[in-house]
Structure 1
Amino acid sequence: MRILSRYVFRQAVGSFLLILASLTGIVWIALALRQFNVVTSQGQDTWMLIRMTSLAVPNLMAIIAPFSFLIAALQTLNRLNTDSELIVLSAAGSKVWTVARPLMLLALLVSLFLAFVGHIAQPWSMRLLSDYLVQVRSDLLTQVIQPGRFSSPEPDLMFHIRDRSADGELLGLVMHDTRDKAQTQSYLAEHGSIVKQDGTAYLVMSTGHIIRRTDADAPPQIVAFDKYVVDLDRFEPQDDASGERKPRERYWSELTQPSPDSKLYKSSPGQFRAEIHERLVGPLYPIAFVFLIVAFVGQARSTRSSRMQSLVLTFLFAATCRMAGLALNSAVTRDASMLVALYAVPTIAIVLSLIVIKRADRQRSGSALFGRIRDMASAMADLAIRLVMPRRKAAT
């Protein structure tokens, strides 16, 4: 049995790693194509694109890894059944747990991997990605924008500079911002420079004017300034509390014990609650998946059509459970009472699988007992025939 367990474990691990690498590659390519404007329009090199897209992958591991394990386990059991290995084990009296143990070990390893990603890898990668975004936004003005040319880093936002000094100072700066449809603003400054502080980049403008227009029929408002500072984080979608770490960028201690002065926690405590429980419930899904697989696919079957139907239904049921968990995690942000349903999804899947496995064992035990009784009856009938036939021959 140890040899069999090692064999099943090697098959499952090989399939899992291959599927995980394939899905991760597909996701990485999709992210790279989505962020290709970092190279084309924001003047960064290819290495920066690779780093930014790679740092976003751990954030998706909570979805990629469980589905990779689900597909790998289903493929492994299907191969064992196709090669008649499950049928041989069943005929030899082996129980379903013989094949389930190596799969459960792999599920436990995947759960530990998800816990590592959620508590360590994801916050680290998200923090580093945030720092890279600050660098890209600041480099946009200091390196990318060319004197005498109009540049638009995002829709409804335009920059223009007359010249750039040797120390990187921007001369003759014009910034036209129409992202807010209720108010159009134009900034004109003689000098401008980029200042980085506490992980945030600021555009400091000197000696200029701000032209605001809130009504097309009303005259514009003109505000003169000696120095004006613009937060470049406004160029990206941000939370209400700018400058604070988002929940996914925080480690466990920072989530469970946020600062009392945190504006983000005061305005959106549900985001912290949802992130905390997502990191706890996420590792439960590989365990729930392996119980579902053992319950509905772990039995040996000789009919190929019914086997394929079980594979498809098991995958759909497991995928539905995971999607329901993601939806409930979003609901937890708004309503704390949804926490019960969040933990109930993997728990119900495990309990339901155990019930199915128990019933299958009872049916198998009953059929085995019926087979023994039938064999005993057949043997007794043969013995009776042997005893009766000599007497008939003697009488004749």
Structure 2
Amino acid sequence: MSLLERYIFRRALTFSLGSLGSLVLIVWIVQALQRVDIVRSSASAAGNMFWIATMLIPNLLAGVVPFAVVIGAVQALNSLNADSERAVIAASGARNSVVIRPIVALGLSGAALILVISHLIGPMAQGAFFNGLRAVNADAITLFLTPGRFEEIQDKFVVGVGDVRGSTISNLFISDQRDPTTDLAYFAKEAQIAERDDDSYLLLRDGQVHRRTVADGAISVIQFQTYAFDLATLRPEGDGDWIRNSERSTLDLLRADATDKSVQNNPSAFAKELTQRFSDWLYPLAFALWALVVAGRPRTNRQGAGPAMALGLSGALGLKALSFVVLALIDHDTSYQILAYLLPLASIASSAVFLWADVDVAGSRLLTGLGDGLRWIGQLFRRDPAHSGAR
């Protein structure tokens, strides 16, 4: 890159890193606060909370990097116009590629980061996160529950024990009202914390499950010899796999054995996870090109920045929302996998066409008219009521 291109890249990268830090911090705090209830009964578990919540950061990064790219790129391009630098670049006869290349480089940097997180760091962090939850819940049950008392381990998840001897529990009661449609109550004469593949599980023996439907009050009773909970979320074994697909490496997903029960029971979950990992990296590049479309043209100070940031973010949010819909559809039909790749590729292609044709999207008549209309409405509200009444 030339000196000017490096200058633009550094400026866009600085804005993107600032946006990335802010977005990750906000989302991380929200996610961490949602899990505070799992450590209320344990002082030692509370000490592990920071480590557990830290394991959320890689996946949070992968989710917000595309938006940090579009925010940083639009801010950098708007600042170039505000300082008249973009107009000087155009007036000097420099090609548009002088501005395009550093922004594309920013998008490719974001894409590379997402690839590393999706295929290397993310699965390991997810495994560490759920293992941390398992350890916390195992400690809360075996060390900190008082025999004869009921403790709320999670919101609307209450556990009571008759006696605890090491990892063996007698006379266990569990009330699970986390599902707003169904109330569950588990009774077991004996339970034990067991290890499987370095993970911790709560195995219930010789008991009953009482299931009550909230809507009509209907109750069903199921007798069981053994019942298992994953201590990462205290979720019954029948509700999902022991190892989540997000914890599996990409190589494990690609080499999944067709005879594996988890593959046979839910093959679309494997297809969905792989599709997400192999398509997410396209979005930073798509958003970088979209930022160039809405904010890359030279403008004078009189013209102002226009609706570039609003248009950039709305387009990015719209595209990402469509990607979530497509991923949800893959749960029902794996043929939608191709659509998950076509969405970002179509965005990249259309943005490239707009840039090649030098289309002024932000200055189009539709958006200009909409902006004028909003300004007119704003002026109506700002008028002096007394003056308006006098007229």
Shorter-chain TM-score tier:
0.7 to 0.9
Task: Note the alpha carbon deviations across 1:311-350, whole angstroms, 9 max, x for none.
Answer: 3212211221122112212212222332332222222222
1:182/1:61 CA distance change after superposition, 3 Å: closer
Provide the residue aligned with 1:158 in structure 2: 159
**Which stretches in structure 2 are left out of the alignment for 5+ residues?**
213-219, 361-391
Q: Tell me by how many angstroms 1:199 deviates.
A: 3.3
What are the residue-to-residue correspondences of 1:275-290 with 2, within 5 Å?
Answer: 275-290=273-288
Contact map agreement 1:137 1:201 (CA 8 A) in 2? no
Secondary structure in 1 aligned to 2:136? Answer: helix
Provide the residue aligned with 1:187 in structure 2: 188
Larger helix proportion, structure 1 or 2?
A: 1
Q: Tell me by how many angstroms 1:68 deviates.
A: 0.6
1:314/1:177 CA distance change after superposition, 3 Å: closer
**Take 1:280 and 1:213, find their aligned partners in 2: how far apart are those partners?**
43
Task: Note the alpha carbon deviations across 1:233-256, whole angstroms, 9 max, x for none.
Answer: 276336747554222111111111
**Take 1:53 and 1:44, find their aligned partners in 2: how far apart are those partners?**
15
Q: Tell me by how many angstroms 1:136 deviates.
A: 1.9
Question: 2:119 corresponds to which letter in structure 1?
Answer: H
**Take 2:222 and 2:102, find their aligned partners in 1: how far apart are those partners?**
72
**Take 2:338 and 2:170, find their aligned partners in 1: how far apart are those partners?**
59
Secondary structure in 2 aligned to 1:13? Answer: helix
Provide the residue aligned with 2:305 in structure 1: 307
Secondary structure in 1 aligned to 2:358? Answer: helix
Secondary structure in 1 aligned to 2:173? Answer: strand
Contact map agreement 1:201 1:231 (CA 8 A) in 2? no
1:14/1:238 CA distance change after superposition, 3 Å: farther
Provide the residue aligned with 2:27 in structure 1: 27
**Which stretches in structure 1 are left out of the alignment for 5+ residues?**
363-396
Q: Percent identity over the alignment?
A: 25
Secondary structure in 1 aligned to 2:274? Answer: helix
What are the residue-to-residue correspondences of 1:299-378 with 2, within 5 Å?
Answer: 299-302=297-300, 307-360=305-358
1:56/1:321 CA distance change after superposition, 3 Å: same
Q: Tell me by how many angstroms 1:98 deviates.
A: 0.5
1:39/1:127 CA distance change after superposition, 3 Å: same
Bigger mean CA deviation after superposition, 352-361 or 5-14: 352-361
**Take 2:317 and 2:109, find their aligned partners in 1: how far apart are those partners?**
20
Secondary structure in 2 aligned to 1:334? Answer: coil
Provide the residue aligned with 1:380 in structure 2: none
Bigger mean CA deviation after superposition, 283-292 or 237-246: 237-246
Provide the residue aligned with 1:257 in structure 2: 255
Provide the residue aligned with 1:375 in structure 2: none
Provide the residue aligned with 2:291 in structure 1: 293
Q: Tell me by how many angstroms 1:146 deviates.
A: 2.0
Match of 1:268 among 266, 269, 278: 266
Q: Tell me by how many angstroms 1:358 deviates.
A: 2.1
Q: Tell me by how many angstroms 1:140 deviates.
A: 1.8
Question: 1:186 corresponds to which letter in structure 2?
Answer: F
What are the residue-to-residue correspondences of 1:99-118 with 2, within 5 Å?
Answer: 99-118=99-118
Q: Tell me by how many angstroms 1:205 deviates.
A: 7.2
Contact map agreement 1:202 1:230 (CA 8 A) in 2? no
1:327/1:231 CA distance change after superposition, 3 Å: same
Q: Give TM-score scaled by structure 2 length.
A: 0.79
Contact map agreement 1:96 1:294 (CA 8 A) in 2? no
**Take 2:328 and 2:143, find their aligned partners in 1: how far apart are those partners?**
40
Provide the residue aligned with 2:229 in structure 1: 232
**Take 1:238 and 1:221, find their aligned partners in 2: how far apart are those partners?**
16
Secondary structure in 1 aligned to 2:95? Answer: coil
Provide the residue aligned with 2:138 in structure 1: 138
How many residues of Structure 1 are paired with residues of Structure 2 in the alignment?
350
Provide the residue aligned with 2:171 in structure 1: 173
**Take 1:221 and 1:10, find their aligned partners in 2: how far apart are those partners?**
64
Q: Give TM-score scaled by structure 1 length.
A: 0.78
The higher-RCO structure (CA 8 Å, 6+ apart) is: 2
Contact map agreement 1:24 1:64 (CA 8 A) in 2? yes
Provide the residue aligned with 2:60 in structure 1: 60
Task: Note the alpha carbon deviations across 1:26-66, whole angstroms, 9 max, x for none.
Answer: 11111121111122145543331111111122222232111
Q: Tell me by how many angstroms 1:2 deviates.
A: 1.7
Task: Note the alpha carbon deviations across 1:1-29, whole angstroms, 9 max, x for none.
Answer: 82211211111121121211111111111
**Take 1:316 and 1:213, find their aligned partners in 2: how far apart are those partners?**
47
Bigger mean CA deviation after superposition, 105-114 or 340-349: 340-349
**Take 2:295 and 2:186, find their aligned partners in 1: how far apart are those partners?**
63
1:70/1:238 CA distance change after superposition, 3 Å: farther
Q: Which of structures 1 and 2 has the bigger CA Rg?
A: 1
Provide the residue aligned with 2:124 in structure 1: 124
**Take 1:336 and 1:211, find their aligned partners in 2: how far apart are those partners?**
37
